[in-house]
Amino acid sequence: MIDFLVGLARDACLVADSKATVLAANEEAVRLYRCSLDELIGMPLAELYSDESAHLLTEELGHDHSRRPWRDAVHRRRDGSEFPVEVAWTSEDIADDRIYIAYVRDITTRMLAEDEFRLKSEIFDAMLDAIIVHDLSGRLVQANRAAAVHAGTGYAAFQRIEPWGWISEPMRPQVLEQMRRVLECRSLIFDSEGLRADGTRYPTEVHARLIEREEGHLLVSVIRDITERRRAEETVRYLAFHDPLTGLANRARFLEDLNRGIADARRHGDVLVVAYLDLDMFKPVNDSLGHAAGDQVLVEIAQRLSSRVRSTDTVARMGGDEFAVVLPRVRDIDAMDATAIKLASAVAEPSTIQGVDVSVTASIGLAAFDPASDDADSLLAKADGAMYEARSRGVVWKVHGRE
């Protein structure tokens, strides 16, 4: 009877008496425990259990059962090595004695796979980028916790998100087009715009990859919030074309706008004027009140100059205490005098710095663009030369070419 039961088993099979001593075992058990059949016969079952699983044997033998469900345990081989198993027990009453039959499966491979899956899941959820697995229609299949954080919602709520609900409405047609491209090239990186639960939108970078499956292709989108990167890029762009102290255009931006104005003047025959200003009596402010006070004076003058010109004009700090203004589409040459008066009055307004009234003035040079001979450099040089001529003559402004 015992040999018959053992012979039927496809898993490792152990038969033990009521004293938990092995009476019989099959070849799979010999292979599993790495010992001979003779070594197994007569061995106490307790020797096949690790110390941490010993209580499980006591529990199983204490049950009056015909069959017990599979339970995980840790067994020990003859050489002392331990390995994970699952065990199912049954019992039979034979010849006034109860015998116990254990079916044992080595689950090392399964446990390794579970550990690997658990590790991958932990890594998946530990990623700061949102990872969204979805089908071709945008239906969510799986997402990590970062996806819910990006969306500003709970993880459970994110699992119920509508197709493409993590993308802003205006951007969805473009994203759908990009996803069609992913089907062709298998992977793609593109910029997009995410949507939070409160309706706010934020810039994203998407790494999309195709997963081909017989039961239906899937797309994996790794989505990075690039809000801070965009802010940094905007800051870099701003600093590249603006003076950090006054916020005015810097020399690079001035020349860019000047060249644009020259092209416009050539095209339409408009009058383009450049004004160049150098502050007078500014050094004594720095010397007597300090550089912080001097910086404050420069900031206030910059603000006043900007308020006295048109929105189409460009006021720039060229460095130190020098400023320049691009004035496109001036009404006529005679209007330059009115412009000079406005700029001079803006500079001359007194400032109160550290409780002290401070007044500075400016020498101003103006030059009108001559399409026959001027470019940006020559026009700026004319205005700069007129400014030095005004200073040498002791006048507030001088128009280039006018006596």
pLDDT score of 216:
87
Other CB atoms within a 10 A radius of the CB of residue 389 amount to 16
Count of CB atoms within 10 A of residue 209's CB? 14
Six-digit token string for 356: 């002290």
pLDDT for the residue numbered 119: 73
Phi/psi zone of residue 195: left (φ > 0), alpha (ψ -120 to 50 degrees), beta?
beta
Which parts of the chain have pLDDT scores under 50? none
Residue 18: both structure tokens together: 């009521």
Beta pairing, strands 201-211 & 187-195:
antiparallel
Question: How far is 117 from 119, CA to CA, in rounded Å?
Answer: 5
Domain with CATH 3.30.450.20 in the chain: 2-108, 127-229
Contact yes or no for 89/100 (Cβ under 8 A): yes
- pLDDT for residue 5: 62
Please name which of 174, 179, 260, 170 lies closest in space to residue 218, comparing C-alpha atoms.
Answer: 179
The answer to whether the beta carbons of residues 381 and 398 sit under 8 Å apart is no
Locate CATH 3.30.70.270 in the chain.
242-399
* Residues shown for the chain: 403
pLDDT score, position 287: 83
Fold of the CATH domain 2-108:
Beta-Lactamase (3.30.450)
105/87 Cα distance (integer angstroms) = 7
Neighbour count for residue 160 (Cβ, 10 Å):
9
Q: What is the pLDDT of residue 7?
A: 64
Question: Left (φ > 0), alpha (ψ -120 to 50) or beta: where does 391 sit?
Answer: alpha
Q: Which alpha helices (H) appear in 329-393, and where do they start and end? A: 335-348, 376-393
User: What is the predicted pLDDT for the residue at 116?
Assistant: 77
Q: What dotted CATH number matches 242-399? A: 3.30.70.270
User: Domain 127-229: what homologous superfamily?
Assistant: PAS domain (3.30.450.20)
* Segment (H or E) for 261: helix 251-268
Q: What is the largest CA-CA distance in the chain?
A: 135
CA distance 58 to 30: 23
Q: What are phi and psi of 233, to 5 degrees?
A: -65, -40
What is the per-residue DSSP string for 277-301? EEEES-HHHHHHH-HHHHHHHHHHH
Phi, psi of 356 (to 5 degrees): -115, 135
- Per the structure block, which two tokens stand in for 201? 């939108």
Instruction: Please tell me the pTM assigned to this model.
Output: 0.59
Whole-number Å distance between alpha carbons of 151 and 311: 39
**Amino acid 1: pLDDT:** 56
